[in-house]
Chain A
Amino acid sequence: MIKVFVPLDSAALSMGADEVATAISERIGSQDVTVIRTGSRGMLWLEPLVEVETAAGRIGYANVSVDMVPELFVSDFLSGADHKSKIGLVQDHEFLKSQNRITFSRVGIIDPLSIADYESHGGLAGLRKALTMSATSIVEQVTESGLRGRGGAGFPAGIKWQTVLNTESDQKYICCNADEGDSGTFADRMLMEGDPFTLIEGMIIAGIAVGATKGLIYVRSEYPHAIDILNRAIAVAKEHKLLGESVLGSAFEFELEVRVGAGSYVCGEETAMLESLEGKRGMVRAKPPIPALVGLFGKPTVINNVMTLSAVPMILADGAAAYQALGDERSRGTQVFQLAGNIKQGGIVEVAFGVTLGELIDTYGGGTLTGRPVKTVQIGGPLGAYLGKDSWTVAMGYESLAQAGGMLGHGGIVVFDDTVNMAKQARFAMEFCAEESCGKCTPCRIGSTRGVEVIDRIVAGEEQSKNLELLEDLCEVMADGSLCAMGGLTPLPVRSALKLFPADFGIKSGVK
């Protein structure tokens, strides 16, 4: 039987993958061919990327359209024959070859809803190992791996788990933050659509480790396909006794449920997410107490991002040392970078920390899609700093980026060419904050609106020195006085844009 793989990832669907899959199925006729839907390899500029299994490996055909399908059959693509869209062995592609895919090792390769596929590609090994270990030693493994929160804050996952483990309670929860609202980030979505069992396995392990019997995945409503696949994957996992009263026949119980957001960016903030999970307005809670002690419904709760929880099965399966061996300084393991915006080769780059920004943009990304020079990149979403070409040599890691004035966040990198106006971007950062602020604290709620006004006055050339001073003062109040990162980090893109590109604000040299 010949296997043809067509992605079902939303990004591939957005380029017509469903229509291509249908067109291929319709032409198969009586041939012994099966079309398998997979996640995406993360080479998004090649979507829809159709693959055919041959004796040599999986051969790819890029940017396949419905119109192209008849000629692919005529060219005998089913045997891996030449065609202008052929890119050769997918695994040998320049973009993939040098990556170190751990969390994304199965995405784009397996059928996301097949447990058999999942297991034959190394799945469940981590969970099986965890079931033979004590809770303390599971947490120790996670701590020793050096895994830090991939959602943005970079807090050591093991320490969070230890806190929940140490806290006595009749009920504890594992909450997965899949409210991936940062523009330029899509790794969570791609993993949930392409390999949901990895996330499910990671959450079960977390439950066993801290003594939690209930897990919730909070997914944004903008991800209908991810929600659908997760729900189906959970049903399959229940059938196979991965979830339920007895996980794989053990004494551990774990139930899992998907909860859907309702179009609020701030609900990606962990305490706002908890409020939303409790059915309320997504208003940020004051910390302390931390959610590890007083979380969902007041109970001890582990809140981790999709990428954090999805790194766990491999850490358990291969040992903490293997994961810890990768990385740079205090940033251990791999990071799933997302190349986005005006980029020629956008998609997923999973490599060990320490790769430089320049390598990511130029070597992997191939520069801008428009072919114009890069002016700036924004890393870490709407609350991340803008960096210029002088940061190209910065090694990517939590501390190194912070030192360069940036923030890793969720690892999304948005590339802008030289036509971007940075005063507009700074204004947008404030505007976005005003739009999405939960309104609980004054610096964020009111500061963001005042920020838009002050930037407008600066750009209009009104009393520039005075207004620049006012903007700086406002940024300081927001950064130091806001309850959460929404107001606290909005000054980051604003200040960096102003510092790097004052001319875009109409600031003449001489004005401070």
Chain B
Amino acid sequence: MSNYSEESILNYLGPYKGDASAVLRSLQLVQELLGYVPDSALDLVAKNCNVSRAEVYGVFTFYSDFRSTAPAKAVVKVCVAEACQASGCASLISELHDKGYDIHKGTVKADIQMEQTFCLGNCALGPAAMVNGKPIGRATSASILAAAKVAAK
């Protein structure tokens, strides 16, 4: 949160002041701004939405999108759901593992972070992956790493 003061975050969350139904959107805004949700931001969201910190924490921990630490420059999501299983994501995952990335653990290496996800909606062109929001169809470990290296620059 080094580049952002409490004040600037509260300012950013301004439209949701006093709105208890905006906890999820507030957390999303913080993550959009900082890339993650630092612990201190939970208090700010609670204060701004006028709910308890426990409620904010509950929402924060429920949704898998939220991060408590800053992500790497390139975030790779690799689909592990059924349609991609049927098109061979298991061997893709083990290839990535051999290259030092455990997608189940979210390994970070060389500014590249690899994570598993359940379905990217590209189920006819699996295995599917996404690098910083850019979709990759018929993904191979080479095509994923090539895109990730560009994104990590």
Give A contacts to B, CB under 8 Å.
10-11, 13-15, 44-45, 47, 180-186, 189, 221-225, 259-265, 276, 278-283, 297, 338-343, 346-347, 369, 378, 381-382, 412, 414-417, 420, 425, 428, 432, 435-436, 438
Contact = CB atoms under 8 A, between A and B. Distances in A.
A124 B46 CA distance: 43
Contacts of A185: 121, 123
B40 to A, nearest CB: 20
Interface string B53-73: 001001100111110000000
Nearest to A377: B86
- Most chain A CB within a 10 A radius of its CB, from B24, B27, B28: B24
Nearest to B123: A340
Given A279-B25, A282-B63, A382-B82, A14 B87 contact: no
Contacts of B130: 222
Contacts of A189: 121
B62 A282 contact: yes
A416 B124 CA distance: 12
B135 A425 contact: no
16 contacts: A11-B122, A14-B137, A15-B138, A183-B79, A184-B123, A222-B77, A222-B119, A222-B121, A261-B63, A262-B24, A262-B65, A263-B63, A265-B118, A341-B82, A341-B85, A420-B86
B21 interface: yes
B118 A186 contact: no
A262 B83 contact: no
Given A11-B137, A224-B133, A280-B24, A415 B122 contact: no
* 7 shortest interchain CB distances as A-B pairs: A346-B124, A14-B137, A341-B86, A183-B81, A262-B63, A340-B123, A14-B135
For the complex, would chain B's binding face be called helix, strand, loop or mixed by DSSP majority?
mixed
Nearest to A424: B85
A183 B84 contact: yes
Contacts of B83: 183-184, 340-341, 412, 414
Contacts of A282: 62-63
Interface of B: 20-28, 49, 55, 58-59, 62-66, 77, 79, 81-87, 117-126, 128, 130, 133-138
Contacts of B27: 262
Contacts of A265: 118
A180 B138 CA distance: 21
Nearest to A264: B63
B136 A343 contact: no
A438 B133 CA distance: 26
Contacts of A261: 63, 65
B66 A262 contact: yes
B14 to A, nearest CB: 16
A456 B81 CA distance: 20
